[in-house]
Structure 1
Amino acid sequence: MPDKNPSHEAFLRVFLRNEDDLKGYARALMPNWHAVGEVMQEASVVMLRKWDQLQHESEFLPWAKVIVRLEVMKTRQSSARDRLRFSDDVFELLAQDDPNDEAEDMAQRERIALDRCLDEFQPVQRELLFVPYHGHGAVTQLAAESGKTVNSLYKKIARLRLRLTQCVTHRLADSTLGEPLS
């Protein structure tokens, strides 16, 4: 059974919350998604190893970007034989630019769409959507309390998630056509 380390759990929560931004940053510096995957894997190991050095979670993203950038540089050095790669000047220019402007804008639009879609659900439905994230056995406990089967609750959660996904997708599609997220 894996050892539950609160520090590792805290790292995982913060890392997953910022993973898309970090991947976007790495992708701006790397030639393809395969390379990004390798860089992210190595960078996440380094981040976990150095997690205790971070003063506060709010500093995570800039700190993690430095680690991703260093991992990108290591990968670039190891692939220096490749003919098709950015020059060091272009790489520095890309690294200084904030390639996450679009990613951050999209993430903000997604959060707004999600919040507005969640507002369309009744409080009981919203609560049911979040039950699986309350911890191991939360759905089973709710099933026992409500007199329903676990399977029926999971089916209802799946239907609610589908409805939520469709709502968010619709709102995002509308926002890319120039209509505000309403």
Structure 2
Amino acid sequence: MPRDQERSTSHYPAERIESDEKQELFVRLLMQHERRVYGYILSLVPNWHDADEISQNTHVWLWKEFDSFEPGTNFAAWAIRVAHFHVLTWRKQVSRSKLVFNQEFIDLVGEEQVRGGSRLDDTHRALGDCINELSCRNRDLLAQCYAEGAVIKEVAKSQNRTIGSVYKTLQRVRLALHKCINRHLAIEEAT
């Protein structure tokens, strides 16, 4: 770091440094759990536009109230609870619509999202471990087949294979991944 920058950062007030650390922690936690929170919202709201707006309102509220969050506690549960209240507010606004879920359904989905979220995190972690256990050839095939815009016909042509052969291999790889994930989850549950 150049001396000018080093000197200028050392003159920041303590609140500024703490504020930067707070902001970094918030961004890290939000990015880590954003998909779960958005998934929860989307499970209760029938259209993407409304879900996006509720998600944005939730993020703003989470930032404003981040001082009340206790580090080390479950950020996802806290964020989903906040999203829950934003969904309720949205429901009041669109109560005249024909497609509105009742309160009991919303409460059940919220509880399930919090309970199932940690299981989903464990499954995602196990999937990463299991993909790493695959042979290089099978990992490459997965990467090619699941790349954005991938077409199996083109993947087969690039590997000088038939389309049927690629599908069969993918089927075997997915089955192996499924078994591997279940094995990893069983080990985690046993410990």
TM-score (norm 2): 0.57
* Residue among 106, 111, 114 paired with 2:128: 114
Mapped to 2, the partners of 1:111 and 1:117 lie a distance apart of 10
Mapped to 2, the partners of 1:79 and 1:172 lie a distance apart of 46
Residues 110, 172 of structure 1: 8 Å contact kept: no
* Residue among 130, 143, 147 paired with 1:166: 143
1:74-89 alignment runs, 5 A limit:
74-89=89-104
Mapped to 2, the partners of 1:165 and 1:52 lie a distance apart of 43
- Provide closer, same or farther for how the CA distance between residues 116 and 94 of structure 1 changes in structure 2, counting only shifts above 3 A: closer
- Note if 1:179 corresponds to 2:156: no
Mapped to 2, the partners of 1:67 and 1:111 lie a distance apart of 26
Q: Greater relative contact order: 1 or 2 (C-alpha under 8 angstroms, separation 6 or more)?
A: 1
1:115-130 alignment runs, 5 A limit:
115-118=129-132
Mapped to 2, the partners of 1:37 and 1:108 lie a distance apart of 26
2:70 counterpart residue number: 55
Percent identity for Structure 1 against Structure 2: 20
1:1-182 alignment runs, 5 A limit:
5-95=20-110, 97-99=111-113, 104-118=118-132, 163=140, 166=143, 173-174=174-175, 179-181=179-181
Mapped to 2, the partners of 1:70 and 1:103 lie a distance apart of 19
Alignment: residue pair count? 138
**Coordinate RMSD, CA, aligned:** 3.6
- The higher radius of gyration belongs to 2
Mapped to 2, the partners of 1:172 and 1:22 lie a distance apart of 30
Deviates more, 1:103-112 or 1:10-19: 103-112
SS in 1 for 2:113: coil
Shift of 1:64: 1.1
Deviations 1:62-116 (A, max 9, x none): 2111111011111111111212211334333433x41366665444322112134
Q: Gaps spanning 5+ residues in structure 2: where?
A: 1-15, 147-169, 184-191
1:139 counterpart residue number: none
